[in-house]
Structures are given as structure tokens and as C-alpha cells.
Amino acid sequence: MSDRRRILIGVTGGIAAYKICEVVSTLAKSGAEVRTIVTDSAQQFITPLTLATLSRDRSYTDRDFWQPTHGRPLHIQLAQWADIFVIAPLTANTLSKLATGMADNLLTNTVLASTCPILLLPAMNREMWKQPAVARNWQLLLTDSRFHSITPIPGILACDIPNNTDSQSVEVLAAGRMAEPQQILAHIYSLLHTQGDRDLANKQVLISAGGTREHFDPVRFIGNPATGKMGIAIAQAAVHRGARVTMVHGPMNVEMVETLSEVTLVSVTTAQQMSDAMLSLFPAANLTIMAAAVADVRPTAYHPEKLPKRSLPQQLDLETVPDIVAQLAQKKRPDQHLVGFAAQTGDILAPAWEKLQRKNLDAIVANPIDQPGAGFGSDTNQAILLDRHGKKQNISGCTKLQLAHHLLDFIDFSPITL
């Protein structure tokens, strides 16, 4: 982050408290001001000294809460100081207190005194999470628009007995595990950008991401270096702004996909498969963003068995593949918005503007893939954003999540007049 932002993190008594160390450390290294509140039960798992050391700032406990002050009470000071308030892990006990407005310690008093967005990360035994009383408290809490959340994800918990989980895949285990640090950090950065505004609430967003592969035998294919990081960042940003998101993606790193627990995922390999999926899902989408690097050509012949090296063709016959974004543009209704990407080298502006007009797009991201820290595989990016009205915005080097938010800010969601 380029500017200093104030983030207050409350830690309650669950084993998942260890994960917050990485979050606190990463935020502090990025230039944010980070302070922490540690409940009495949380201190059974993590010490205030650890968090104070990682944050380079104060870590507060109930002992501080009950000390006399010479100015405003501590919970008022902290509530007015924070730009964002994060509670991780959120136990069933503290969840119940927040849902009913109880204030019996520093953490809960600070929640009631604050007005900033609050990000909640529940974590508990999966049977506890499924209890009707916990579900009622959770749903009641989320009726307050100030509260944002990352719901627990499936996974092996600290309370699981190894012999009972060896035969179970993580995917079939019920939710209960707190989200991983990278997913938490992404949501925090989004809240710092939006200040909790859910401007995409009730919108269905469809995103394509990653590269496609066109095989000519089971192990060889025509592909590209796309990793899907930009598409993932757009999906995260849209979810954090309240959208319902579906992402159609080519082959991608499993760990990256796992950060999208709140996104409906459709996995494909070839351009044709991506075309079929996008065309099927497109009618329900309010906004479609084609961030995938789709193949332009494919081999005309496929060999079902691996070709020995001596049998490899000296010349590979190719044919063009469907132009997905052009097909979507032909089917686009006035109430739908379609955004494309133009990955270019050299002059990026003229080709992007030509592509926007030729394919009837509402906006396009001109992406200079020959620049350092931009394009395929990098964690950062830069771009020129263009829309159909001629509006232009230059985005200098930033994280891909920041670029995603700049893009969503840039899009004009007003209906198109025919």
C-alpha cells in the first residue's frame, strides 16, 4: 500500500490464532499501522508480545481496558483510530456476544464504539459451526451491512483425529477452518480500497481466467504463460464488493484456486471448452470480464496416444479457434457489460482501441506484457483502461488486486442506449 492505513485486529480464543501472525507481519511490512486486541482466552494460544513485535505497535488486553485513562477511554480511542477492524479468529462465544450487542471486554466494547467496516473470520469445530444457534447468530450479525466476512472453509482441523481423516479428502470435510492468510490479506486490502462499499451487490459477474491448452497428443500442447493471477484478483475484488462471481478458468495452480472459496469455479482446458462454458453462463451475467489468455489456433489433428519423438510431425497443421469475446459481444443485451483484455507489446493503445470498437466491447484493459512487473505470471501489473465513450485512465505499476479495483471503479454500469 502506498499510503499508511490503520488496521485494528481482534484475536479471540481459538487455535487458528496462529494464522494471524502472518497477516499482522505482512500488513506491517506493507506500511500499514497495525494494532491488536487480544482477549483473555486468546492468550492461551498467542501472546500480546508476539503480536506487538510483529506489528511494531501496541497490543492491548483487558488488563489495559480496566486501567484508568487521562483522556478518552481506551475502547473509544481504538474505535475512532481504526480504518478497518478485523476479528480473526471469531469464536462461537464472541460471535454470540456480537450478535446480541454484548460488551463485556475490550474487544466487544470497541466493536460497539466503532463505525468502520469490520471483517469477521469465524473458526471452530465443524459441528459447532453447524449448530442452529451459531447459524442464527451468524445470519443475524450479517444483517448489519458494516460486517463483512470470510466464512469458514473445508479442511482438516486441529481437533480431528488423524486416523479418522486419513481416508477423507479435504474437499468432503465440512466447513470450520479459518481462511488462509493470503485470502484474509486480499479482503483487507479490498476493504481499504472500498471502505466497505458493496457497489456490486446483486450483480452477477462472469470472469474468464488463465490460459488454454490445445493438445496434439496427451502430453504436448500449444499454450501460453498465463497463470490466471489477474483473473483471480478480479474475482476477489468483485466478491469483496458484494457480487456473485463465477470464474471459468484454464489449468491453474491449485493453491491459487483455493483462495476463491466464495467464487463458483468452472474448470476447462481448451478454447472450445471455455467458449462453451462462457456462452452458457453469459445470459445470466450483468458484467463479463474476459481476462483469460485464450489460444488463437489449435492443431487440426489429435493423437490419443503419446507420439514417440521420432514420429513428431515436422510441420503442425493448425486451424483458428472460436473468438469467444466476439461471440459474447454479438449476444450482449443493453443491460449487460462486456470487458476485454488486450495483452500487447510495443504500442498498446492503438491495438486496444481498435479491438474495443471492432468487437463491440464496453471497456478494455490494454496490458503492456513487455514491461517489467507486468503481464503473465507477475504479482504486479500496469495498464491503460479505455471505454466505449473514449474515457481513458492510466494505471501505473500496482498489485493485480489494486488494478482489479481500479478496473471495477472505471466501468460505467449505466445501460447502453441503442
Respond yes or no on whether the N-terminal peptide bond of residue 73 is cis (omega within 30° of 0).
Answer: no
Q: Which grid coordinates belong to 410?
A: 472505471
pLDDT confidence of residue 175: 78
Write out pLDDT tens, residues 311-341: 998 889 999 998 999 999 999 999 999 999 9
What percent of the chain is modeled with pLDDT above 70? 95
pTM above 0.85, yes or no: yes
Set 21, 116, 159, 398: catalytic member: 159
CB of 248 closer than 8 Å to CB of 281: yes
Confidence of residue 375 (pLDDT cuts 50, 70, 90): confident
Q: Are strands 264-267 and 244-249 parallel, antiparallel or unpaired?
A: parallel
Residue with cell 472453509: 153
Question: Residue positions in the annotated binding site for CTP?
Answer: 296, 306, 322-325, 341, 355, 359
pLDDT confidence of residue 2: 41
Task: Calculate mean pLDDT across residues 209-225.
Answer: 93
Residue with cell 495483452: 343
Q: Which of 254, 213, 262, 256 is nearest to 231 (CA)?
A: 256
Write out pLDDT tens, residues 149-171: 999 977 777 777 665 555 455 44
Confidence of residue 293 (pLDDT cuts 50, 70, 90): very high
Our answer to whether residue 116 is catalytic in this structure is: no
Strand, coil or helix: what is 328? helix
The Cα 398–Cα 92 span in angstroms is: 38
Q: Is the pLDDT of residue 70 over 80?
A: no
Write out pLDDT tens, residues 76-128: 999 999 999 999 999 999 999 999 999 999 999 999 999 999 999 999 988 89
pLDDT confidence of residue 162: 63
The DSSP string of 3-53 is: S--EEEEEE-SSGGGGGHHHHHHHHHHTT-EEEEEE-TTGGGTS-HHHHHH
Q: Which residues contact 40 (CB under 8 A, 6 or more apart)?
A: 13, 61, 62, 105
Q: If you average pLDDT over every residue of the chain, what do you get? A: 92
Task: Calculate mean pLDDT across residues 204-215.
Answer: 96
Phi, psi of 151 (to 5 degrees): -70, 155
What are the structural domains, with CATH classification, of the chain?
Answer: 6-194 (3.40.50.1950), 204-410 (3.40.50.10300)
Radius of gyration of the chain (CA): 24
Higher pLDDT, 2 or 237: 237
Task: Calculate mean pLDDT across residues 125-136.
Answer: 93
pLDDT confidence of residue 171: 47
Helices (H), 86-180: 92-100, 106-113, 126-129, 132-141, 162-165
Q: Of the given ranges (6-10, 55-59, 247-251, 413-417), which has the lowest mean pLDDT?
A: 413-417
CB of 292 closer than 8 Å to CB of 213: no
Higher pLDDT, 90 or 69: 90
Q: Is the pLDDT of residue 231 over 80?
A: yes
pLDDT confidence of residue 4: 61
Q: Which of 396, 367, 328 is nearest to 229 (CA)?
A: 367
Question: Residue positions in the annotated binding site?
Answer: 296, 306, 322-325, 341, 355, 359
The Cα 396–Cα 155 span in angstroms is: 38
